[in-house]
Structure 1
Amino acid sequence: MSGTAEGLALAYVKRWLWKAAAPVAVPVFGVLTLLLIPLAVLDAPEASTSPASSCSIAGTGASAADIELDAVQMGHAQTIVAVAAARGLDPYAATVALATAYQESRIRMLANDGSSPELTAEQAAVTATSLTYPHDGLGSDHDSVNTFQQRWTAEWGTVAQLMDPVYAAEAFYRRLVEVPNWRTIPLTQAAQAVQISAAGGAYARWEPLARELTAMLWPAAQATAVDASGTAAGVCPGLPVPAGSWIRPTAGTVTSGYGSRLGTLHAGVDIAGPRDTPVYAAADGTVVRAECTSAYCDRDGTLSLAGYGNLVELDHGGGVTTRYAHLSGYTVTVGQRVSAGGLIGFQGSTGNSTGVHLHLEVRFDGASVDPVPWLASRGVDLHATTAG
């Protein structure tokens, strides 16, 4: 991609890419994480829910062509579609890519442990480095990795590049546009020309699913390609909340309370739910901040990284503000008026964080207060498990 507009669009896409990832740490990282439990929350498991309840419980899950997709799959699908729009391709390109990704991985970012007997010891070791990158599961077909099962030995890219969902989609489209008449030939032929698969005829089976997903995700992706504001498109609707009410802003479990933490004030409450669980406005207000407050927010943060990561702050009037931190993405812009229950973002682990959660703060005249009793006095139980 080239040009300022495409660069901005790609920057947006990269904000999406880690939304969809559900990292599975290698053993050494797991041990370190367990040692840091007092300082951070661990990744919550992805919930399995019906499409009707997925927006309130497990993020951006949806159903297309009678196939249920969870939040992880929908996040990767959004990335694939957004990359097509950012490149100036048409919806058919995204449809071909989605059908391919579903056939190859069920639209999941797969690592590879290098256990295939077809690999040399050196190839196996290189392939196994994919385990050190965020992934949704394991595969063992030759040296194939990611949503498209691309192979580093077939010159698709390095393992590090291929484990980047944006790069993976870019690589697929680069080869697709080189296929003669790719816009007019049957989907399965276009996909097979790119993939050169032993089961090339299987892609056609997923064309209805891919077409529905493209229709669902293309409008937001296209709008972003034109105006790359850095915000995430809202897939889930807001909650129905009476005017003037306060609510619990997200689903999940309180894992860390307000107070001193190793000599530093933990100025809010951590609520941990599945990655991309929707975060809603706790009350009516105006957006005063919606930005990345750390050195980077296009992937999960660490304890050594300063800042809130992706942060949304709302002004509710009367000196009261609320902060929603470590978001994987946000759906609002500064100056926007939001109602209680309006979707503002998604749980993530950006910034000074080692696990997926929402860090919620309540402030009065700029000073933080304990959100638990403050919201309890307004009829909100933060120790419940559902939003609203």
Structure 2
Amino acid sequence: MSGTAEGLARAYAKRWLWKAAAPVAVPVFGVLTLLLIPLAVLAAPEASPAAASSVCSIGGTGATVAGTDLNAVQMGHAQTIVTVAAAQELDPYAATVALATAYQESRIRMLANDGSSPELTAEQAAVTATSLTYPHDGLGSDHDSVNTFQQRWIAGWGTVAQLMDPVYAAEAFYRRLVAVPDWRAMPLTQAAQAVQVSAYGGAYARWEPLARELTAMLWPTTQATAADGSGAAAGVCPDLPVPAGSWIRPTAGTFTSGYGSRWGALHAGVDIAGPRDTPVYAAADGIVVTAACTSAYCDRDGSLSLPGYGNLVELDHGGGVTTRYAHLSAYTVNAGQGVSAGALLGFQGSTGNSTGVHLHFEVRLDGASVDPVPWLADRGVDLHAATAG
């Protein structure tokens, strides 16, 4: 994959892999002293990812395609599949085959597997069940099959950890597709079956109209992003309707870590963790001071050895008040831009010094961090609530 193509794929389809261990983060930005280094702790439990991001995601809002209703989670997975095709310099037909396959196999959802199939040995069942430790939209139980394409680790598609990464899953599908002789000249259902070797090989044809229309809808977005390998992304989600002058909770998800001392340093904000690419909104009216990658790289998840906030948006609200939104998978605003409360800023991710998907959110007064919980509570906002707004 070329550098440009890989940048495109990662810009729109950042990897969803969460660590099974409690994630922590230690962002370092500019000349902040260690006393202001935030340390993020435990990422959100995977309780109900579809519900938490069913309104909008990096893939956009839900849509009706060829008479079929797709929610934002499905649209996000579809965008990943299309983007990976473009990143591998394939044509739209490859994406169409992949989308029809994914809809037949999982309804374009990331499925885990609890290992309950009687076809599995106890050891195989235990390995298969590890898929439950990764973000997923539902459960399947067909042998050891997992993910949007129902790929099998026993059949050599990859490890369970790899297969639960939507980008890897799409890449694996395309690797096998392009190995099929004359696949471009085949009817869609035959090309899909050559990859999947399914017991229901003719079933893919039913979803060809859906897949063609979905590809036509998403391919232009992928092409438009090709020239920009940064963390910037199109603002595909609608802003939240917020009264002027109001403050809001900036994202949906579980409150996982508060403000205060963490292992001898100050965690200078709070952490809210939802599914990857959950929208992040401006907490109040302001001017964008920073919208940039603040680490050595932001085109993939970070690690504890990587300094910085990753993709960071900082807003100036006037009167010495600023807010920071860190570890974003992508951002949708530019420095100098004015935004209203509820404006889309970006999407939850794990860029920079982080090992778990979440939003690290800070409130600062004249540059010094304050606890966002009581500060926003005084303005009628409960950061412990589950939803944005």
Name the CA shift for 1:228/1:256 in 2 (closer, same or farther; >3 Å).
closer
Q: What residue is the counterpart of 1:360 in the other structure?
A: 361
Which deviates the most, 198-207 or 377-386? 377-386
| CA displacement at 1:83 relative to structure 2 | 0.5
Unaligned runs of 5+ in 2: 24-39
**Structure 1 counterpart of 2:340:** 339
Inter-partner Cα distance in structure 2 for 1:149 and 1:59: 21
Q: Distance in 2 between matches of 1:300 and 1:309?
A: 7
After superposition, give the CA deviation of every residue in 1:126-148 in whole Å (9 maximum; x if it has no partner): 76665665555554444433322
User: What's the offset of the Cα at 1:343?
Assistant: 0.7
Comparing 372-381 with 100-109, which one deviates more in the overlay? 372-381
Counterpart contact for 1:59–1:346, Cα < 8 Å: no
Q: Structure 1 residues 272, 83: closer, same or farther in 2, change over 3 A?
A: closer
CA distance in 2, matches of 1:215, 1:112: 31
Render the CA deviation track for 1:20-65: whole Å, top value 9, x for unaligned.
x6x695xxx5xx78xxxx95353263266699x7139x99551333
Deviations 1:213-265 (CA, angstroms, capped at 9, x unpaired): 32333222222233222334433111234555543322356554433445432
Q: SS of the counterpart of 1:237?
A: coil
2:287 to 267, 281, 285: 285
Q: Is the Cα–Cα contact under 8 Å of residues 60 and 277 in structure 1 kept in the other structure?
A: no
| CA deviation vs aligned residue, 1:138-170 (integer Å, no higher than 9, x gap) | 544444333222345555445554443223212
Identity of aligned residues (%): 74
- TM-score by length of structure 2 reads 0.76
Aligned to 1:78: 79
SS of 1:360's partner is strand
Q: Whole-Å Cα distance in 1 between the matches of residues 119 and 384 of structure 2?
A: 52
Residue 91 of structure 1 aligns with which residue? Answer: 92
Give matches, 1:107-126, under 5 Å: 107-112=108-113
Q: Deviations over 1:104-145 (max 9, x none)?
A: 122233455666565678876776665665555554444433
C-alpha distance 136-382 of structure 1, shift in aligned 2 (>3 A): closer
Q: Distance in 1 between matches of 2:330 and 2:274?
A: 15
Distance 2:380 2:89 in 1: 49
Is the 2:311–2:326 Cα contact (8 Å) retained in structure 1?
A: yes
Maintained 8 Å contact 1:307/1:352: yes
Q: Please state how far the C-alpha of 1:80 moved relative to its aligned partner.
A: 0.6
Distance 1:6 1:323 in 2: 30
1:287–1:217 Cα change, 3 Å: farther
Summarize the Cα distance change of 1:11–1:179 in structure 2 as closer, same or farther, 3 Å threshold. Answer: same
Partner of 2:7: 8
Is the CA contact 2:105–2:149 (under 8 Å) kept in the aligned structure 1?
yes
Structure number having the greater helix percentage: 1
The question of whether the paired residues in 2 share the 8 Å contact of 1:243 and 1:284 is answered with no
CA deviation profile, 1:66-120 (whole Å, cap 9, x unmatched): 5444454333222111111222333332121111012112223345566656567
How far did 1:178 drift?
4.4
Task: Tell me the SS of whatever aligns to 1:315.
Answer: strand
One-letter code of the match for 1:175? R
Root mean square deviation of aligned Cα = 4.0
Distance 1:212 1:235, change over 3 A: farther
Q: What SS class does the counterpart of residue 207 from structure 2 fall into?
A: helix
1:298 aligns with 300
Aligned partner of 1:8: which letter? G
Counterpart in 2 of 1:43?
45
* C-alpha contact 2:44 2:256 (8 A) present in aligned 1: no
Greater shift in the superposed pair: 232-241 or 376-385 = 376-385
Structure 2 distance, partners of 1:76, 1:13, is: 10
The answer to whether the 8 Å contact 1:45/1:274 transfers is no
Deviates more, 1:253-262 or 1:222-231: 253-262
Matches within 5 A, 1:149-228: 149-152=150-153, 154-157=155-158, 159-179=160-180, 182-183=183-184, 185-228=186-229
